Every structure is written in structure tokens, then in C-alpha cells.
Amino acid sequence: MGERRADRLEQALREAGVRVTRQRAALLRVIADADDHPDAAELHGRAVTAGAGVSLATVYRTLTTLRAQGVIEKLEFQGEPARWEAADQRHHDHMIDLDSGAVMEFTDERIERLQAEIAAEMGYEIVHHRLELYVRRR
């Protein structure tokens, strides 16, 4: 599945001087294969199931490392444990279905533009933002 992608990520890490260990490679694979938004425990479970011996502590350490490398992104929704997603995609915001827990992605250029405008008016520039819509089917 996401082997190509994982290989690419490994390469990027090596070039950044980050050691690609058995555990890190396993996690890269799991993350590249995920099309949802798993939390640390879930990622750990998947890696272990895939036959990789990894401890949860290492999963956390690795996630921190990968984030510092800009390879993955951390999502912190209200109350729940943090979730993660590969970062090599277009920017997008999230919509959370309160009933099913499903997380959907969306973007809207107009909103992006308005945000920048508002910040600029107050003398700031946006470093990063977070927009989450908690919704219910109708």
C-alpha cells in the first residue's frame, strides 16, 4: 500500500540526520497506510499487529520526532487523546460528527483568506490555526 510513500519519508529522515530504526520504519509504514486519524495507542497497536516490536514510549517519542521533522501533524480535538496524520497533503480543516465520531476533512480558501485578513488587521500574522466544526447529521 503506502510503501512508496513510507520509503520516501524514510529517505527524508535519513537526509535530516535522523536515524531510521526498525521501530521508526514500522511506524512510518503504519502512518503511511492509515487513511484515518489514529491516536498513539492505536498506532502502537497497529505496529505491534504488523509484527514490529515497539513500546508505547517509543511511539510517543517517535511521533514527537516525526512532527519536528514536519512529517506528521498532531490533531488535538476536544477532550480526546491526540490523533495524528501524515503531513504530506494539502492543508485542510476538520469536521467531527458528534454522533459517529467520524472525522472529515475540508478546505475553504475564502475562510483561509478571511483569517489572514483578520489577523493582519490586528497587527499579527498567523503561524498556524485550528478550525473544527462539531456537527450533527440533519
Binding span for a second copy by CB under 8 A among 3-11, 46-54, 55-63, 130-138: 130-138
Residue 92 assigned as binding residue? no
Question: Element (H or E) spanning 97, and its range?
Answer: strand 93-97
Of residues 101 and 123, the one with the C-beta less far from a second copy: 123
Written in H, E and C, the secondary structure of 41-56 is HHHHHHHHHCCCCCCH
- CB of residue 49 to a second copy, shortest distance in Å: 29
Nearest to 67 by CA among 28, 34, 41, 26: 28
Residues 85-104 that bind a second copy (CB under 8 A): 95, 97-98, 104
Helix, strand or coil, per DSSP, at residue 36: coil
Tell me the C-alpha distance between 18 and 114, whole Å.
Answer: 38
DSSP state of 82: P
Binding of residue 40 to DNA (CB under 7 A): yes
Q: Other CB atoms closer than 10 Å to residue 13's CB: what's the count?
A: 19
Residue 93 assigned as binding residue? yes
Binders of DNA: how many residues, by CB under 7 A? 24
Residue of 4, 35, 36, 57 that binds DNA (CB under 7 A): 57
Binding of residue 82 to DNA (CB under 7 A): yes
Among a second copy, DNA, none, residue 131 binds (CB under 5-8 Å by kind): a second copy
The rounded radius of gyration (Å) of the Cα atoms in the chain is: 17
Per CB under 7 A, residues contacting DNA are: 14, 18-24, 39-41, 53-58, 60-62, 64-65, 81-82
